[in-house]
Structure 1
Amino acid sequence: MNEIQELKDRRDQLLKEADQLHTQMLPFEAALENEQSIEPAQERELRDKYNELKTRFDARKHNADLLDRKINRRETLINSHSLMAGYIEAMNTWKADEQELNEKRQSLSTRLEQIKQQAVEDMAKARQAETNAATAYAQAVAWGDTEGEKTANADAQKAAKNLATAAEHDRRQGLIISALEQELLTVDRYIAEAQEKHKGIERDALWLSQTVLEEKWNEAARALFDVGGRLWANYNLLGLDQVSLLKLAVPQEGETVGNWTWHELSGRARNYGAQDLLQLNNI
Structure 2
Amino acid sequence: MSTTQIALDRINAVLNAAGLDDTIFSLRDANSSLFLLLFKKLFARTLPGVQAAPVGEQEHAANYEVLLRAIGDDVLGMDLSHLSPTQLAAGELAPLCNLAEIFSELCGILLADEDALPPHHHSSPDEGRLEDGGYGGGLGGPKASIVRQQAAGLRRAERRQVAIGRSAERNAEWSERVHALRRERAHDDLEYRRLSAQALAAEKERLRLEHSTREEARRAAAAARRRRHEALDTFYADQLEMLHGELAREEAGLALRERASRSLELSIDAEARREQRALLQQLHDRRGASRLA
| Band of TM-score, shorter chain | 0.3 to 0.5
Which entry has the higher C-alpha Rg, 1 or 2? Answer: 2
What TM-score does the superposition give when structure 2 sets the normalisation length?
0.33
Higher relative contact order (CA 8 A, sep 6+): 1
